[in-house]
């Protein structure tokens, strides 16, 4: 009997899930993290860190910190000890970069990879850490973020991805079935869109998708998805622009 009840509960839950029309938003977001790259021996390095912390109290408070241990010949115990030492100084490590799988383990921050150096402008907005230089850098007036765009002058082939979280993507050519374009801003395609296009990938509801001929497999703006089957059939094969209104993707023919 209890088994039957469980199945019934499960079915009720399934029905509830299937009838729930709200879509799930999946978004990417990037944060600027401070990267600490310790060197050996750790004792000396910690002394210098304490020196810095003494001069600017609370520097690491509430700040995402990534530990870069690339090329350091250390074992798991040493890493664990270092993390504990840092925790004692209120430096909480959110991730470890460049660590060999053998030195990472349960209870440790997750491994991170694919980090990119940040432009000087972006770094300027954040206080700069200089462990060797005792003179604090003069503060730089806040620079306005420059809007960026990328132009691709050839067709995007099946299996290729164009990922550009910094801004708009323009393709002069077609986007093949099985190819994908992911842009932080809008996507402009002067050709046929047969693959996937995801605009406003970092949370930009005003991003739009434009294409000369719509044959897309999937469209997304700001995390709201639309599959090929959900698109109005009248739009197929036409010049179309797509934008977001609330939680739904709107589309209209151009010209």
Contacts of 195 (CB under 8 A, 6+ apart): 156, 158, 175, 176, 177, 178, 179, 180, 181, 216, 217
> Which positions lie near another protein, rule CB under 8 A?
154-155, 157-160, 173-174, 176-178, 192, 194
How wide is the angle at C-alpha 221 spanned by C-alphas 218 and 224, nearest 5°? 75
Cβ proximity to another protein: between 171 and 221 the closer is: 171
Cβ proximity to another protein: between 162 and 249 the closer is: 162
Cβ proximity to another protein: between 174 and 204 the closer is: 174
Shortest CB 164 distance to another protein, Å = 17
Shortest CB 162 distance to another protein, Å = 12
Cβ proximity to another protein: between 105 and 159 the closer is: 159
* H or E segment to which residue 10 belongs: helix 2-19
Shortest CB 240 distance to another protein, Å = 18
Q: Which of 97, 89, 30 is nearest to 59 (CA)?
A: 89
Q: Are 77 and 104 in contact (CB under 8 A)?
A: no
Shortest CB 186 distance to another protein, Å = 24
Across the beta sheet with 180-183, the strand order is 161-164, 180-183, 196-199, 218-221, 224-227
d(C-alpha 35, C-alpha 64), whole Å:
9
d(C-alpha 124, C-alpha 222), whole Å:
28
Cβ proximity to another protein: between 92 and 239 the closer is: 239
Shortest CB 197 distance to another protein, Å = 17
């Amino acid at each position: 009997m209890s088994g039957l009840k469980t199945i019934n509960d499960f079915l009720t839950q399934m029905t509830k899930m299937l009838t729930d029309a709200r879509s799930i938003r999946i978004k990417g977001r990037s944060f600027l993290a401070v990267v600490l790259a310790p060197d050996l021996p750790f004792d000396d390095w910690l002394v210098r860190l304490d020196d810095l912390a003494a001069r600017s109290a609370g520097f690491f408070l509430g700040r995402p910190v990534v530990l870069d241990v690339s090329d350091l010949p250390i074992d798991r115990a040493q890493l664990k000890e270092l993390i504990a030492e840092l925790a004692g100084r209120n430096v909480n490590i959110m991730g470890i970069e460049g660590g060999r799988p053998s030195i990472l383990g349960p209870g440790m921050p997750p491994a991170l990879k694919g980090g990119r150096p940040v432009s000087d402008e972006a770094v300027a907005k954040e206080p700069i850490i200089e462990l060797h230089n005792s003179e604090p850098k003069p503060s730089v007036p806040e620079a306005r973020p420059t809007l960026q765009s990328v132009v691709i002058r050839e067709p995007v082939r099946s299996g290729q991805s164009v990922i550009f979280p910094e801004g708009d993507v323009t393709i002069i050519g077609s986007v093949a079935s099985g190819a994908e374009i992911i842009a932080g801003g809008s996507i402009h395609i002067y050709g046929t869109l047969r693959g996937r296009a995801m605009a406003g990938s970092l949370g930009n509801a005003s991003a739009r998708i434009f294409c000369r001929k719509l044959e897309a497999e999937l469209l997304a703006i700001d995390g709201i998805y639309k599959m090929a089957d959900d698109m109005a059939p009248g739009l197929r094969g036409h010049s179309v622009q797509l934008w977001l209104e609330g939680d739904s993707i709107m589309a209209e023919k151009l010209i």
